[in-house]
Amino acid sequence: MQNRRSLRLNPLRDDSVNSSSPPVSTPPSISRVSRKRPSRNPQSRSRSQATVPEIESLSEGNESDQVSEPSETETEIINQEEDQDPAEVAQETFEEIELIPLNERYEASRATFLARAQETPALIQSSIRPISARFITTTAAQRFEALSLRKFLPQQSLNVTDENLADVRLVVAESGLIYTVFDSMAFQPTVVREFIANLPDAEPRDDGVAVYVRGSMVVFSPILLNAMFCIPGFEEDPSWREENIDRVCVFLTHGRVKRREDMSSKWLTATNQVLYKLVCSNWIPTTSYTTMNSERLRFLYMLYVGRGFYFGKLVYDQVVSMADNTEADKKRRIIFPNLIQQVLLYQRNIPPDNQDVDETGFQKHVVKDIKAGLGSGSVSRAPNLEEDIEELITDLKALRMRLRSKHLLGEGRIWRSWMSMMAYVFLRMLQRLLHSDKKGENVSSKIRAGFV
């Protein structure tokens, strides 16, 4: 396995791509060949703390029980690293990585796609006759009109020279996602909307589709997305979506929150608050930056512990789902606009149109909140099944007394509100039972005993 903190590598080519589509040329990468990392205890080393790296033993496998003392040179190095500021360690580690500018990467890629299109013109031609240079079908034109009123959710970028964000950069770089937040570009609103409008009518192409955009077809697929962001390989581990959410909250808050119900953005560490913003803008987009979503929290945790994930597929599925629900979800913002623009320019230049709007959505740098991680309030206790059940029994008893009141029975609105509250309490109880690590033995009998 290659070192994830590797320097500039030679371009890789994915020979598994079917010859029916233009080859996906993977630019030089800072990421490892395999996204699968050995599992380790996340509490033992947090990248945000940038502790001293573990040193592999050269005597591994030696049957001798003797432990050699470190040499004077090794002792001096260890003492220097222990005295060094964690932010400086993260900054120096990140500086070992040489990032390849976007233009340099894209020029090589466009040349590859152009050569293949000249060799096989059918690859960029639609199998049906488009109704215009902008739309493949009449339905696509109608979808564009529906999209014209929808706002965009711009992505954010990470300042690679800001020393205050060195810890954040190190986490992103080691996860293999640095190019998703670095050296990106603005987008053309009209072109992005046309892409989304034509996407449901796209033609299957290997692991993705070919979409009609401004007179020719462009490839949109998980493999292409991985190549575009210099992610040459992966070993997907779907179990990251099933990680114990209470354990995730403990890790991301450095132990201040021990259960999902108590989780709030104020408890995230300063580093993790910045990372969560990037999750909400660049990886699993949402406008609710302060809402602690379980999937996004698990994704952030996964960046630390090294669960393998297929980034291209993660993004591909979100974009396709958005395009398929253009009519049903008219208030939803258009996600990944900068990424869609990059997908197009990664393959060819986009011819202008008289209806084009000037480029917009220049990515803003994500910033670290100086007050982040300073949340105050009651200390979160660890999940305990028996205590939770006893607390819920007390709540349900109080609700029963209120629901028996004649006054409440005569008021329809109040009755419905109490019924809604009771449903919420039952839901909370079920959530705690599901999240608990204990077996559910005698749970039902304990609940019944509380009402006797």
Q: What is the C-alpha separation between 206 and 220, in angstroms, rounded?
A: 10
Mean pLDDT taken over the chain: 75
Q: What is the C-alpha separation between 276 and 266, in angstroms, rounded?
A: 12
Looking at residue 99, what is its pLDDT? 84
Looking at residue 32, what is its pLDDT? 38
Q: Lowest mean pLDDT: which of 58-62, 116-120, 392-396? A: 58-62
Q: What is the C-alpha separation between 219 and 199, in angstroms, rounded?
A: 11
Looking at residue 245, what is its pLDDT? 94
Please state, for a pLDDT cut of 90, what percent of the chain lies above it: 41
Contacts 24+ apart (CB under 8 A), 157-163: 157/181, 157/182, 157/183, 157/184, 157/363, 157/364, 157/365, 157/366, 158/182, 158/278, 158/365, 158/366, 159/365, 159/366, 160/94, 160/99, 162/365, 163/87, 163/91
At residue 425, what are phi and psi to the nearest 5 degrees?
Answer: -65, -45
191 pLDDT exceeds 80? yes
Partnered with residue 218 across adjacent β-strands are: 211
Query: Which residues make Cβ contacts (< 8 Å) with residue 276, sequence separation at least 6?
Result: 265, 268, 289, 296, 297, 300
The 10s digit of each residue's pLDDT in 4-36 is 433 333 344 444 344 445 455 444 444 433 334
Q: What is the C-alpha separation between 109 and 346, in angstroms, rounded?
A: 6
List, as one string, the DSSP characters of 37-74. -----GGG--TTTT-PPP---TTTT------PPPPHHH
* pLDDT tier at 80, thresholds 50, 70, 90: very low
Alpha carbon separation from 238 to 83, 171, 269, 313 (Å, rounded): 39, 20, 26, 12
217 pLDDT exceeds 90? yes
The one-letter code for the residue type at 326 is T
* Token pair for 133: 């240079």
The 10s digit of each residue's pLDDT in 197-209 is 999 999 999 899 9
Looking at residue 308, what is its pLDDT? 77
* Token pair for 225: 């997305």
List, as one string, the DSSP characters of 135-170. -SSHHHHHHHHHHTTPPB---EE--TT-GGGHHHHH
Q: What is the C-alpha separation between 227 and 12, in angstroms, rounded?
A: 9
The 10s digit of each residue's pLDDT in 309-342 is 899 999 999 999 999 988 777 778 999 999 999 9
241 pLDDT exceeds 50? yes
Q: What is the C-alpha separation between 266 and 91, in angstroms, rounded?
A: 26
The 10s digit of each residue's pLDDT in 264-312 is 999 999 999 999 999 999 999 998 888 999 999 999 999 998 777 899 9
Looking at residue 275, what is its pLDDT? 96
Q: What is the C-alpha separation between 106 and 114, in angstroms, rounded?
A: 12
What angle, rounded to 10 degrees, do the helices at 412-435 and 385-403 form? 170
Looking at residue 53, what is its pLDDT? 38
At residue 334, what are phi and psi to the nearest 5 degrees?
Answer: -80, 120
How many other C-beta atoms can be found within 10 angstroms of the C-beta atom of residue 373? 18
* Token pair for 129: 């006759």
pTM above 0.85, yes or no: no
Q: Which of 364, 372, 241, 381 is nearest to 300 (CA)?
A: 241
Query: Which residues make Cβ contacts (< 8 Å) with residue 411, sequence separation at least 6?
Result: none
Looking at residue 372, what is its pLDDT? 55
Looking at residue 136, what is its pLDDT? 97
Q: Lowest mean pLDDT: which of 42-51, 146-155, 364-373, 416-425? A: 42-51
